[in-house]
Structure 1
Amino acid sequence: MLVSVIIPVYNCQRFLKNSIKSILDQSFKDFELICVDDGSTDNSTDIIRSFSDPRIKLLEHGINKGIFEALNTGIDVSCGDLIFRMDADDVATSNRIALQVDYMRNNPRIGISGTLAQFFDGNLLNKPVSNEYLKPSLLLDCPFVHPTVVIRREVLIKNQLKFSGYLEDYELWVKLSQVTEFGLLPEVLLKYRQSENQFTAQNFERREKEADLLRVRFAEQWLNRKLTSEEISIVILGTLPSKQPELKLVESFCKELINNNSWGSKQATLEVVKKLFFRNYFRSKESGRISFTVLKSSLLSVREKFNLLRKSKFSLS
């Protein structure tokens, strides 16, 4: 089984050598490494050319087109049955490809899977969750660390799917949720580096707006209908509405999500929907005080209601 590893490259000369080396030193050897330079103005292409390994393919855009264009260019020329993502400033463990190939072989119904990732200071970026939790969690956030992902080529080709948009990973996962199964290998197989532009206010605001649009789209897929303006206010998490919906409406919407569960595991869906309910509760006018709406809610366990009671004031709302 030939594997294609795709690294989009843009001005990554500081960390690129170690990233490429971590792939070339893999215990699994049957792969091609496709480096797509997206108009770098530093020495990134010279670093790539300094490696003499015949498994490396260098493609050059000439101008900066964006990461999703670089990924699609790599996919278009790839030959592997499995397409691995890798970023130019991250480092893969030496057994990453071998373990993920085995995982995909042993789970033929899974079309996309990821792993755990670790910051270079040793802290985990994500936590292990059940496979059943991954799809419904798209309602809250992106369920995968993008550079840990492997996708079956046939799933992309058959469904004519490509990366697109500012949040190229999140958007593709939403589309894939309709056509294949998700999986998570609960092992740390990548050391992840946060880029500096992730922390700019302008970049963060744009990402949150795009993420909110994808959350709404996913909720509409889930319910197979358009959301009302009030329901959109419940779903969006980054751009807070000026007027927060009443908790009774939030509870009603959450119950509809549960009743229309198509992800297999009711418990996993309930876990996701509870998080949505609590996020709305803690940003509502009733935050910090308990109400009849919360006490009567069938979404919450007795323990959860008791914990809220201990921390809150009581209200007759």
Structure 2
Amino acid sequence: MKVTIAIPFYNAEEYLPDAIRSVFAQTFQDWELLLIDDGSTDNSLSIAKSIKDDRVRVFSDGKNKKLARRLNEVTLLAKYDYILRMDADDLMLPNRIEKQLEIIINDNVDIVTSGVYSVLNNLEIVGIRGMNYNSVKFQDILSRKVGITHAALLAKKSWYERNKYDETLSIAQDLDLWLRTSKKDDLKIISIAEPLYIYREENNVTKKKLLRAYNNERNMIRKYGETSFNELIFKSYLKSLAVVVLGLIGKIDILQKNRGKKVISTKQIDTYHDAILKIKSTKVGGMDE
């Protein structure tokens, strides 16, 4: 059993090396790594090309096509039947692939996602978030009662072949995909609350990005909403209003803390720090020479 790991990247030179190290630090080693450049203008592509390992393939066409198109390209490029993705500024725990692969095979589902450690750019833990469920309903996704962590997915390639990202969307491509596939009963997913992914969310929690995200949320509700339409739109506008108010008083960071508000146990903190130590000490041929 082999896995394709995909990391699309754009101007990620500060964080890309550690993302790559977290791949090489995995307990499961039967993988290929696709590094897909989206027209970077910094040193990211040079970092990717420096790696000396036959399992790593680097793709660059010099264009900035955005995430949705790059993720559809991953499906075309992937050699193996399972595709695991991550963002270029994130990391994953060393046992992520091993655990998620075991679940997706044993439970015969199309997708497995996990909880995350929510961290600042310097890897300081803000909190953890995640949910346990073995099925999901369309209405729960639309109302945001159920969360699906996009970057923490392991999915069957065959599922992606049936269900492509909407390349006309510059944001919320994941929410659109969940709504579209659940509506046609093609979203067989398991989520585990255990945090297997390290998610740098600091750059996402800005006034501009949050307002854009909530505007797209309303677009999704208008596009797919069937019941509770007015209620969901109203709640979305309230969230936008909260962002505006917090922005005016300089308290946007409160929203970062709320994203990872679950209490962290001593064991989880120890697991996190052990993972960071292992990732940081993992050497990648070519890149770390």
User: If the length of structure 2 is used for normalisation, what is the TM-score?
Assistant: 0.73
Displacement, 1:175?
2.0
Contact 1:36 1:73 in 2 (8 A): no
Structure with more relative contact order (C-alpha pairs < 8 Å, separation 6 or more): 2
Quote the Cα distance in structure 1 between the aligned partners of 2:163 and 2:127.
34
The residue aligned with 1:189 is 196
What SS does structure 1 have at the residue aligned with 2:129? coil
Superposed counterparts of 1:1-317, under 5 Å: 1-108=1-108, 110-120=109-119, 121-132=124-135, 135-141=138-144, 143-157=147-161, 159-164=162-167, 165=169, 166-177=171-182, 178=184, 179-194=186-201, 196=203, 198-220=204-226, 231-236=228-233, 237-239=235-237
Residues 135 and 182 of structure 1 are in contact (CA less than 8 Å); yes or no, is this contact kept in structure 2? no
Structure-2 separation of matches of 1:200 and 1:127:
22
In structure 1, distance between residues paired with 2:166 and 2:17: 25
> Alpha-carbon deviations, 1:73-123, whole Å to 9, x = none?
222111221111111111111111011100101111x21220010023334
Q: TM-score, normalised by structure 1?
A: 0.67
Secondary structure in structure 2 of the residue aligned to 1:58: strand
**Higher deviation after alignment, 200-209 or 146-155:** 200-209
Match of residue 228 from structure 1 = none
Give the AA of the match of 1:71.
L
Letter in 1 for 2:209: N
RMSD (Å) for aligned C-alpha atoms: 2.1
Distance (Å, rounded) in 1 between the aligned partners of 2:222 and 2:232: 6
2:24 corresponds to which letter in structure 1?
L
How far 1:203 sits from its partner (Å)?
Answer: 2.6
Distance 1:163 1:107, change over 3 A: farther
Quick check: 34-43 or 159-168, which moved more? 159-168
Query: Residues 249-284 of structure 1, C-alpha deviation per residue, up to 9 Å, x if partnerless?
Result: xxxxxxxxxxxxxxxxxxxxxxxxxxxxxxxxxxxx
Partner Cα separation in structure 2 for residue 163 and residue 192 of structure 1: 24
Percent identity among equivalent residues? 27
For the structure 1 residues 75 and 138, does the alpha-carbon distance in structure 2 shift closer, same or farther, using more than 3 Å as the test? same
CA 1:126 to 1:163, structure 2 compared with 1: closer, same or farther past 3 Å? farther
Measured in 1, the distance between the counterparts of 2:18 and 2:106 equals: 30
Q: How many pairs were matched up? A: 229
What do residues 133-172 of structure 1 show as CA deviations (whole Å, max 9, x unaligned)?
5654212236212111111111222x24235312111111
**Cα distance per residue 1:21-72 (max 9 Å; x no partner):** 1012211111111111001110001111221111111111312221112212
AA of the residue aligned to 1:184? S
